[in-house]
Amino acid sequence: MSFSNFNVSTYMCDGYSGKDFNLGSINAKTSDDIISFGPKDNVNSPTHYTSGSQEAIDVIEDAIKDAPSVKVGMLQAQVLKYLLRIWLKSDAKEDAEKARWYLNRLIESL
């Protein structure tokens, strides 16, 4: 599918004032995929977890599947969560400190 002829004005809603128009995200890998122009979804796919080729949750679930206990798996997941999004949030140092806090608890639990 090509967007070379896409015209935003063709798809306007009634009452659109010309400010803050957001097409949302294009969720398609090929032209045969469904394309979504829905609103930003901070619950199911926040941008700080979906940057890159894989969602953070998929990386985390794969990494912790062999954890020896639920507790250490959870601690590892928290470390990964903060490190995977470190450059995508407003305070990288704070996320690094949170990751360290969970990492210290993980190390103490081993």
Would you give the distance in Å from CA 66 to the centre of its chain? 23
How far is the first Cα of the chain from the last one, in angstroms, to the nearest whole number? 51
* Tokens 């690094």, residue located: 96
Question: Closest Cα partner for 99 from 43, 87, 36, 45?
Answer: 87
Task: Specify the pTM.
Answer: 0.56
Quick: pLDDT tens for 17-51.
444 444 454 444 444 444 455 566 666 665 655 55
pLDDT at 89: 84
